[in-house]
Chain A
Amino acid sequence: AQSVSQHNHHVILSEAASLELGCNYSYGGTVNLFWYVQYPGQHLQLLLKYFSGDPLVKGIKGFEAEFIKSKFSFNLRKPSVQWSDTAEYFCAVNAQSSGDKLTFGTGTRLAVRP
């Protein structure tokens, strides 16, 4: 079975700082990878996804993530955060052999100070 680790539980940044949130997964087969964002009191929204091809994927709102297969990682990055990026971020993995089941990390709460 696959598992996902997000090592940063809470991150506090000032506006314009750069962001990198770590995500590592464990699974030996082919995976699809996702980052979701949850703004306070709202549901999950898809930020970006990786299925195949270019390991550097760009998502909405200036976010990007890089899939490094050798490190089993899919870290999320943004060069300059804004106060409106304050939210909780979830990394998720879908093993292609498991149908549509997603396994989520425990989430990273990001607070951006104006």
Chain B
Amino acid sequence: NAGVTQTPKFQVLKTGQSMTLQCAQDMNHEYMSWYRQDPGMGLRLIHYSVGAGITDQGEVPNGYNVSRSTTEDFPLRLLSAAPSQTSVYFCASSYKDGSSGNTIYFGEGSWLTVV
């Protein structure tokens, strides 16, 4: 059971390049999301998905696209990278805990630098 797997772990991009951060989970979780972590700002939600074929915007969606063609995969695409997108990106997935809440588990992070 690999949990939440993100690739690549490190990436350097030039301004204007596009790339995709991959995220996969093998726990059959319905809910998946992408966060970015910046110093002094905690984690902010970029996009999320409540199931295959359904995605929605989070707090900071501009400059990013997502799709959810399968339950397992939730890739994050940077359309035209900008230095402001230099950050650490975390993918997460969650399941219903059996009580009233959901527990969210995070991948190991992808460190992205845009120069």
Interface residues of A (CB under 8 A from B): 4, 9, 30, 32, 34, 36, 42-46, 49, 51-52, 90, 92, 94, 96, 99-107
CB distance from A102 to the nearest CB of B (A): 6
- Known A49-B101, A100-B50, A104-B44; 12 more pairs at CB < 8 Å: A46-B103, A51-B97, A51-B100, A52-B101, A92-B43, A101-B45, A101-B48, A101-B58, A102-B35, A102-B43, A102-B104, A103-B45
Taking a contact as CB atoms closer than 8 A, the residue among A4, A51, A100 that contacts B94 in the complex is A100
Cα(A44)–Cα(B89), bound, Å: 11
Interface centre among B90, B106, B107, B109 (most CB of A within 10 A): B106
CB distance from B16 to the nearest CB of A (A): 29
Interface centre among B33, B94, B100, B104 (most CB of A within 10 A): B104
Q: Are A42 and B108 in contact (CB under 8 A)?
A: yes
Taking a contact as CB atoms closer than 8 A, the residue among A32, A45, A103 that contacts B102 in the complex is A32
Chain B 3-39: CB-based contact to A (< 8 A → 1; otherwise 0): 0000000000000000000000000000101010000
Q: Are A106 and B41 in contact (CB under 8 A)?
A: yes
CB distance from A40 to the nearest CB of B (A): 12
How many interface residues does chain B have, given as a range? 20 to 34
CB distance from A30 to the nearest CB of B (A): 8
Closest 5 pairs between A and B when the two form their complex, measured CB to CB? A51-B101, A32-B101, A104-B42, A100-B31, A104-B43
CB distance from B108 to the nearest CB of A (A): 4
Residues on A with C-beta less than 8 A from B40 are: 9, 106-107
